[in-house]
């Protein structure tokens, strides 16, 4: 089903998104270099920098929306481009067709973590990307009740290598989890569409609030790469990040929320918020966080399918308490 949804030759399911990304990394050897998006999911950064760097793999981070910068950073040892778009949590956009073209021209692999969009909103393989990876824990599963991952490949031979890696390292998903995922996917379109409508309302509410300094959401008119995003995706998704005007108000804001829960993860039917600097991205050194624009004032919200008015009322009362 996942191969069909993403338009790939083959899909392999894994026990988690991280297991799926780890399997992809078995395609590389000591000495290889991987060029990545500069605002990568914290767990992926941790896998690359803490676990894999000691094995002799090297990683660099670049703005994947700037194809010239990408081409410049591809060296003799570079074997792959690893891309997220929109990125988590800053909603930076990569130009997928340009990334695929650079990879083809240099004879290296292009890999896209498509977790944030799901195949409903964005299908990277159709734009020339070689490998798509998912944390199916998020939108594909959709109910915060299963941990699963998947790799979908344009080339069946690469898919065979993924199936071998899955078996060899034992990163297999359980039959029950696979069943939960199949059931989750049946409601993917209704969930994603409703959550996206809510996210638009939440983003507009936050953008107009005096306690909020900045909102990151691809559909807002001031998003710097709005056009690039909509040239390759059907929607903006339902993750909204925002900076409070006063970073010191963040703890009070988070603890005052009642409908929206403070928890990691995203892409489920219930709305969740996290504080990336101290939660999902805590393993990224503070200097690097700040260098890419991830400040302690930043909050990330995964907007669910609740009544939008309830979400906005909850955000409003928590902001009032936080800045009082």
Residue span binding ligand PLP (CB under 6 A) among the ranges 47-55, 112-120, 151-159, 241-249: 112-120
Among 3, 5, 8, 17, binds ligand PLP (CB under 6 A): 17
Under the binding rule (CB under 6 A), the answer on residue 44 touching ligand PLP is yes
**Locus of tokens 């990304």:** 21
Among 8, 86, 119, 149, binds ligand PLP (CB under 6 A): 149
The nearest distance, CB 249 to ligand PLP, in angstroms, is 26
Under the binding rule (CB under 6 A), the answer on residue 135 touching ligand PLP is yes
Q: How far apart are CA 305 and CA 193, in angstroms?
A: 9
Q: Which helix (H) or strand (E) holds 261?
A: strand 261-262
Under the binding rule (CB under 6 A), the answer on residue 115 touching ligand PLP is yes
The nearest distance, CB 149 to ligand PLP, in angstroms, is 5
Q: How far apart are CA 204 and CA 207, in angstroms?
A: 5
The nearest distance, CB 302 to ligand PLP, in angstroms, is 9
Other C-beta atoms within 10 Å of 191: how many?
A: 23
Other C-beta atoms within 10 Å of 174: how many?
A: 12
Under the binding rule (CB under 6 A), the answer on residue 43 touching ligand PLP is yes
Q: Which tokens in the block code for residue 148?
A: 């699963």
The nearest distance, CB 264 to ligand PLP, in angstroms, is 8
Measured in whole angstroms, how far is the alpha carbon of residue 79 from the centre of its chain?
A: 22
Q: Do residues 130 and 155 lie in contact, with contact meaning Cβ atoms separated by under 8 Å?
A: yes
The nearest distance, CB 15 to ligand PLP, in angstroms, is 8
Comparing CA positions, the residue from 150, 213, 137, 195 lying closest to residue 311 is: 195
Q: Which residues bind ligand PLP (CB under 6 A)?
A: 16-18, 41, 43-44, 84, 88, 113, 115-116, 135, 137-138, 147, 149
């Amino acid at each position: 089903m996942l191969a069909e949804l993403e338009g790939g030759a083959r899909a392999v399911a894994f026990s988690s998104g991280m297991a799926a990304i780890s399997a992809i990394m078995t395609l590389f050897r000591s000495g290889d270099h991987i060029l990545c998006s500069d605002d990568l999911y914290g767990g992926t950064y941790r896998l690359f920098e803490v676990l894999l760097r000691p094995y002799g793999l090297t990683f660099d981070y670049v703005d994947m929306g700037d194809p010239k910068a990408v081409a410049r950073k591809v060296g003799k040892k570079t074997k792959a481009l690893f891309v997220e778009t929109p990125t988590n949590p800053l909603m930076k956009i990569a130009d997928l067709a340009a990334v695929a073209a650079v990879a083809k021209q240099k004879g290296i692999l292009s890999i896209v973590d498509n977790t944030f969009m799901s195949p409903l909103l964005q299908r990277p393989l159709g734009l020339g990307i070689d490998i798509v990876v998912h944390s199916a824990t998020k939108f594909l599963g959709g109910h915060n009740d299963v941990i699963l991952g998947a790799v979908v490949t344009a080339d069946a031979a690469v898919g065979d290598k993924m199936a071998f890696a899955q078996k060899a390292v034992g990163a297999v998903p359980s039959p029950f989890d696979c069943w939960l995922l199949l059931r989750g996917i049946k409601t993917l379109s209704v969930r994603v569409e409703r959550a996206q409508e809510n996210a638009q309302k939440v983003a507009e509410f936050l953008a107009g609030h005096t306690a909020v300094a900045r909102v990151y959401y691809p559909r807002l008119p001031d998003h710097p790469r709005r056009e690039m995003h909509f040239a390759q995706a059907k929607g903006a998704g339902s993750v909204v990040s925002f900076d409070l005007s006063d970073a010191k108000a963040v703890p009070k804001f988070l603890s005052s929320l009642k409908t929206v829960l403070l928890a990691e993860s995203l892409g489920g039917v219930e709305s969740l918020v996290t504080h990336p600097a101290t939660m999902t991205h805590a393993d990224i050194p503070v200097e690097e966080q700040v260098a890419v624009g991830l400040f302690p004032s930043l909050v990330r919200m995964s907007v669910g399918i609740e009544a939008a008015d309830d979400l906005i009322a909850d955000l409003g009362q928590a902001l009032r308490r936080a800045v009082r």
